[in-house]
Amino acid sequence: MLAKIVEVLEKYYGGIKSGEFPAYDAVVRKMHPLGVLISIVLSQNTSDKNAFTALMNLTRRLGYRLSPESFSRISDKELEELIKPSGMQRLKVRAIRELLKLVNENPDVLTESEPEELRKTLMSVKGIGPKTADVFLLMYRGYPTFPIDTHIRRVLYRLGLAGKNEGYESIREKVMRMLPESKYLSAHLLLIIHGRRTCTAKKPKCDECPVRNLCRRVSVADGSGT
Ligand code: SF4
């Protein structure tokens, strides 16, 4: 059923533009893997517009790749100021500094570590959760995992494919069983696009939804949503 939904969304929304997603954009622009990871950190708990602004501030100051070396010439205070548009700047600076430490101790950690090991290592960094680790593994390493963000969680719940309080790992594993690995990246991006444009948090546009015939509309009454 989810495979069918993704197929319909693919036709409806057409091609995915990298400019809509900071992390995807960072991969396409061939940023340093640390830069890709930082772009994911900047996307946490904010809009992509704010994350892009913070990222642009950083790349203007440190160069477009955001290599580990470039961070040696910037203080935490300045770093905080540059990434302020993305919010939670103190916590994010702390996470960025910890990631830098990891990379300085082992320059190949992001590119060569066994993916499941890397997932654990990244999640041991304060401020890095499973979603951030999974976005990096899927987008940069091409590792078959499925990051679940708030849009995806909401859309899957309304479709009747995830429980209201279902845990991250349970949803991730369920989705991975429902889709072929080759579809993980496009399905992840398409479900986010669908959540942003049609199955919005407030007042989902069920009347114009391309998958309305496949949707159970859990907790959606009169198009008002939950
Ligand atoms: S029919 Fe409504 S609730 Fe279901 S996926 Fe579409 S917009 Fe969301």
What pLDDT sits at residue 26? 92
Q: Which amino acid makes up residue 97?
A: R
pLDDT band at residue 222 under the 50/70/90 scheme? low
pLDDT band (50, 70, 90) for residue 116: very high
For residue 225, what pLDDT band results from cuts at 50, 70 and 90?
Answer: very low
- Tens of pLDDT along 35-67? 999 999 999 999 889 999 999 999 999 999 999
Please state the atom number of ligand 1 nearest to the C-alpha of residue 205. 7
Structural domains for the chain:
2-16+146-214 (1.10.1670.10), 31-139 (1.10.340.30)
CA 206 / ligand 1 centre spacing (Å)? 5
CA-based diameter of the chain, in Å? Answer: 55
Residue type present at position 191: L
Residue 67's pLDDT is what?
92
Which among 148, 146, 194, 206 has a CA at the least distance from the CA of 10?
Answer: 194
Could you tell me the pTM of the whole model?
0.94
- Asked which of 72-76, 77-81, 155-159, 197-201 is least confident by mean pLDDT, the reply is 72-76
Joined tokens for residue 39? 């772009």
54-60: Cβ within 8 A, 24+ apart? 54/82, 54/83, 54/84, 54/85, 54/86, 55/22, 55/26, 55/86, 57/82, 57/83, 57/85, 58/82, 58/83, 59/35
Ligand 1 and 218: CB distance under 6 A = no
- Indicate which residue's Cα is closest to atom 2 of ligand 1: 206
Closest to 9 measured CA to CA, from 207, 201, 198: 198
Reading the block at residue 81, the tokens are: 């100021």
Check whether 226 has a pLDDT greater than 70. Answer: no
> Closest ligand 1 atom to the C-alpha of 158?
3
